[in-house]
A and B are shown apart, each in its own frame.
Chain A
Amino acid sequence: MSLPRSDSISLAVVAVSTLVALYFTLTGSFAGASAEPIYSFEQAEQSELFDLMTDEFGGFLTPTMSGSWAMENLQVGRKVYEQQCIHCHGTDGHAETYTANLLTPAPRDFGLGVVKFTSTPVGLPATRNDLLRTIKEGVASTSMSRFEGSIKEQDLQDVADYAMYLLIRGAVWTNATDRLGAGGLSPAQAFAAAMEDQRQQFDLALASSTRPKIPSVADSARGREMYFDNDLGCLVCHQVDASGGPVNGLDLWGQPMVARDLTKGELRGGDSPADVYLRIRNGVKGTPMPAMAAELTPEQIWDLVAFVRSVQEDN
């Protein structure tokens, strides 16, 4: 079929515009509707504190942080965050998004500076590697999917940096506003004290972070005895048949709590023996799951780990 000249010209125009469009689609990235959040504070002191926070941490879209953080990594991390995380965790990490309202459990609010699953003792914040682990492996039975393999390793590292930035920023803000609320300090003093606390806490967290090895042999019978020991309190929440269930009260973020069903083998902090060890040793932060580091020896904790694993295998 020979095409009339007008159709040939039209086809050429269509082809060129299609190629240009595909170029934009394949090489461009989404310039989304993300905008720097605007807050209104009732007290002038809080506005002043927020200005100090902005001087130290920059905007959420243009993050900066003193210490060993590479700004370019934080900025790339922010871009990855906008693509992968923002719809659940929100522009400022407070998880106040509509999508978050549609999910149970609610996505983590970084604003309090606390996350549940860490390698650090109770009272200390998470390390960057704790966040990286959660980003890579996800949280079982929740909408927090595993990202290892679906995005580049460097992007994982950068978004972990940015998540750590949100966590530190949240911790400092919470600490400083608490100090302001207690009275007696100016915003600058409260901010300086919160920054100092943050440095000490995160240094301590790094020093005390534990990554235990997997045990070769552990006696689940001893673990079973401990589980049924009323003094230890496992039964109070996890029940005699280890099926868990609702727990009275709300967690730190105001969400209803459910003691994990140990028989199903879907533990949100991770199923591996090392993960279970850390949950027993360090607890689940912001929830009644206590840290047993002071009550139990490492060997006893491993016995409990062996019991928990045997419950999963039996079911």
Chain B
Amino acid sequence: MEQPYFRLLHRLAVIGVVVTIALTIGIGGTITSAEVGMAYPTWPDINGGSLFSIFYGKLAETFGIGSVVEHTHRQAASLTGLIILVLAIASWVTRGVPKNLRLLATGSLVIVIAQGLLGATRVLENTYSGAILHAVGAQFVVLLLVVLAKTTARDWHRPMQHFKAEHVDRIRLWSVVALVLLFLNLFAAASLRHKQGAFEGHLILAITTAGVILYLIRQALTTFREQKKMARLARSLAHILGTQLALGAAAWAFLIGPLIGSFPDEDTRFLAQSLIATGHLLCGVLVLAVTTALWMEVRFRIDGGGTE
């Protein structure tokens, strides 16, 4: 029997992933790179302007460009929240949606609201610990949206694939380890970006995480070489991880390493450092998103009862 496919829910989840990564986290990362997180120190309003006001020119004139970046981040985050709100409502009003999926969508709504309040607390209390938690919380929202996108996808209910239990168990284990390490590394990176944690912490975790993910990719490519979807996911992860390692090396060299003094002027230095740091952050989120997708496949769509 063909399983139901909830096209609206899937599209909302995919749009949610794109909006959250490209806009909300992209602009949020820019805020930290430019260090203008407190350019707009009130919440939810600013001198009578609401969250939904389109008054960028006036805002820039009165409070500077930094406040426009912060305002745009809040608007993008509201869009993420709105998408998840619609997704949660749609999951309850659409007939035939499994209870687990409804609960997942509702849970995501709760998490995204908590994430918004965490952002508000970070501003109102002006705390770096709040900023670090807010940064890590954003990645958790991405993880939930990827899970929603996977479980609502048309091919989610395709027949299970059977592989040797020993191999499947190993990949399951290391994909979970990779996800845990990614979150810990995001915490270390956010601490570093907010000048709280030492660089060594992020470096050691980055090397460890990269090692685990490379091992995971190798195992996935070896075990699932005949399985196109898994092989494609593993190769994507390899490409993104390679880019991420290159960006990480560049971030070290140009932000705190030997190339810090290689910029012709202050404006170029600031722009280049912001782009590298924000790019490194975004690539890290992509690594998380693809690793989550790979874990979902191996956890729920691959069976360990086969003989290879």
Contact = CB atoms under 8 A, between A and B. Distances in A.
A7 B66 contact: no
Interface string A8-31: 001100100110111111111111
Given A14-B212, A145-B126, A147-B126, A32 B173 contact: no
Interface in B34-87: 34-36, 38-41, 47, 60-67, 69
Contacts of B270: 98
Given A21-B188, A21-B208, A143-B38, A99 B66 contact: yes
Interface in A52-66: none
Contacts of A104: 60-64, 67
Interface string B182-204: 00100110011001111111111
| Number of chain A interface residues as a range | 35 or more
A97 to B, nearest CB: 8
A264 interface: yes
B61 A29 contact: no
Contacts of B303: none
Contacts of B94: none
Interface string B146-172: 000000000000000000001001100
A31 B198 contact: yes
B41 A30 contact: no
B63 A143 contact: yes
B62 to A, nearest CB: 6
A102 B65 contact: yes
Given A7-B170, A21-B201, A143-B63, A102 B34 contact: yes
B197 A87 contact: no
B117 interface: no
A142 B38 CA distance: 9
A141 B126 contact: no
Contact of B208 (A18, A87, A149): A18
Nearest to A88: B35
B126 A24 contact: no
A244 B38 CA distance: 25
A99 B177 CA distance: 38
Interface in B209-231: 211-212, 215
A30 B128 CA distance: 13
B187 A25 contact: yes
Contacts of A149: 125
B47 A264 contact: yes
Nearest to A138: B41
Contacts of B61: 104
B266 interface: yes
Contact of A24 (B39, B63, B204, B260): B204
A1 interface: yes
Interface in A211-262: none
B186 to A, nearest CB: 11
B47 A150 contact: no
A296 interface: no
A102 B47 contact: no
Interface in A97-117: 98-99, 101-104
Which of B69, B191, B202, B255: most chain A CB closer than 10 A? B191
B198 A28 contact: yes
Nearest to A32: B195
A22 to B, nearest CB: 7
Which of A14, A21, A24: most chain B CB closer than 10 A? A21
B47 A31 contact: no
Contacts of B65: 101-102
B173 A25 contact: no
B198 A25 contact: yes
A83 interface: yes
Given A33-B260, A102-B34, A24 B197 contact: yes
A45 interface: no
Nearest to A16: B208
B126 A22 contact: no
8 contacts: A17-B204, A24-B198, A26-B201, A28-B200, A101-B65, A102-B64, A103-B67, A145-B41
Interface of B: 34-36, 38-41, 47, 60-67, 69, 125-128, 166, 169-170, 173-174, 177, 181, 184, 187-188, 191-192, 195-205, 207-208, 211-212, 215, 255-256, 260, 266-267, 270
